[in-house]
């Protein structure tokens, strides 16, 4: 099946999209340069040709732009080409697509919702293989206790945090050494600890 692909600007940078007659086949988050993005799309779809976006792709581009611009939109109207996607992944992606902007679920909660309690690791693997980040909002899927978990898209956890921040979600993270607050140094116990 022939695929087309194109690049488009968003509030987080240039993204790539590939499509077929059946729907959106791939979404590429920003990378270091367009050449790397083009190579990644062509690796997934060697038959793809750069072209003006189809109607389905234009619908996706506009909806993604609205979401990344801060609008609370679900992207549910975007038609996906799921050919070649394993059945378990399809079930996981359907549950993930139902997570509203600004909300999150854990890998374990998704596993339960697809009827596979105890399959949190398999859910994580499905998220890592997600060909449609943002459309299938894997950034809204967290590890237990609100920890970020993983994110396989370019930029890793920093990209995940940025996408969640756009939607008003702040992650529970343990403070690092670099998060030190100088105001704490004025407290007596802190002064003793600091010597």
Q: Which residues are catalytic?
A: 138
Q: Is the dihedral of CA 9, 89, 139, 128 positive or negative?
A: negative
Which alpha helices (H) appear in the chain, and where do they start and end? 34-44, 55-68, 87-97, 107-113, 120-128, 156-166, 188-194
CA–CA separation, 119 and 122 (whole Å): 5
Contact 3, 25 (CB under 8 A): yes
CA-derived radius of gyration, the chain: 19
CA atoms within 13 A on the CB side of 50: 11
């Amino acid at each position: 099946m022939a695929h087309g692909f194109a690049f488009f600007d968003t509030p987080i940078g240039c993204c790539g999209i590939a499509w077929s007659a059946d729907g959106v086949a791939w979404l590429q988050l920003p990378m270091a340069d367009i050449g790397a993005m083009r190579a990644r799309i062509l690796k997934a779809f060697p038959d793809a040709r750069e072209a003006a976006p189809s109607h389905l792709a234009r619908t996706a581009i506009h909806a993604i732009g609205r979401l990344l611009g801060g609008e609370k939109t679900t992207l549910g109207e975007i038609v996906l080409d799921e050919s070649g996607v394993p059945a378990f992944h399809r079930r996981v992606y359907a549950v993930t697509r139902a997570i509203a902007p600004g909300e999150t679920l854990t890998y374990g909660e998704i596993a339960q919702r697809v009827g596979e309690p105890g399959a949190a690791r398999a859910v994580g693997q499905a998220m890592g293989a997600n060909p449609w980040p943002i459309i299938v909002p894997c950034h809204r899927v967290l590890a237990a206790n609100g920890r970020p978990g993983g994110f396989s898209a370019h930029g890793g956890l920093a990209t995940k945090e940025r996408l969640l921040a756009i939607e008003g979600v702040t992650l529970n993270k343990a403070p690092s050494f670099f998060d030190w607050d100088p105001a704490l140094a004025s407290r007596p116990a802190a002064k003793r600890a600091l010597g």
